Amino acid sequence: MAISPPSDLVLDVVKAADPLEVQAAQEKLKANQAAFAANSLAEAGNGFTSAVDVLDRATGKTGLGDTKNRAKTEEIPQTYRKFEAMVLQNFIKNMLPSDSEDVYGKGATGDIWKGMMAEQLGNEISKGEGIGVAKQLYHDALKKQEGRVVNASADQNDRSVALSMVDEFQRKTFGTPTADNKSANDA
C-alpha cells in the first residue's frame, strides 16, 4: 500500500478543518490570485487604464486614461481641480462596497486603504474632463472678474453722504450737540 504523504496530509487537514474556515481560506486564495493577476496585467501594460484607453478610442471620448487629449482640454487652475477631486473622492468612497474586507482588509487599515483608493480614483477622474465641478467654478470666478457681477464702488459724493449719515446717527444715539447747538434729545 503506497501513500503520498503531502497529498494525504493536506486532505486529512482539509477533512478535519471547519467547512466555513476552508471556504474562507479558498476565498482568500481566490482574492490573492485575482490581485496577482491584476498586478501582472498592470505591469505588462494591460491593466485598468489601458482598458479605459481602448474604450475611449472606440467611443472617441476623453476619460480616465486619455492622456493625449488632456492637453487639448481647457486649462483649469489646479485649485479647482483639487476641489473637484475632493468632491469625487467623497462620492466614490460612499459608492465603494462596505463589505469588502477581502479586498481592503479589516478594521482601520481597511478603511485607510479604501480611502486611498477613492482618493486616487477621484484624482484621476478630475485630471481629464471630470464631472464639470471645477470647470463651472472656474467660469463663475471668471465672470466675477470680468465685471458681469456688479462691483460696488463709491465716489466722493457717496462717501460724504455716508459720513453725514454716520454723524447724524452718532448725534441721535449719544446726544451730542448738532450744528445749531441743540442736543438731539431736545429736538
pLDDT number for residue 1: 54
Residues 133/87, Cβ–Cβ less than 8 Å: yes
- Confidence at residue 17, expressed as pLDDT on a 0 to 100 scale: 77
pLDDT confidence of residue 7: 61
Average pLDDT over residues 149-170: 75
pLDDT at 98 over 70: yes
Computed over every residue of the chain, the mean pLDDT equals 74
pLDDT score for 67? 47
Helix (H) or strand (E) holding 157, with range, is: helix 156-174
Instruction: Spell out the residues 6+ positions from residue 90 whose beta carbon is closer than 8 angstroms to its own.
Output: 118
Structure-model confidence comparison of residues 168 and 149, the more confident one: 168
Q: How is residue 84 written as a grid cell?
A: 473637484
Instruction: Tell me how far apart the alpha carbons of residues 140 and 138 are, in angstroms, rounded to a whole number.
Output: 5
Angle between helices 78-95 and 133-146 (to 10 degrees): 150
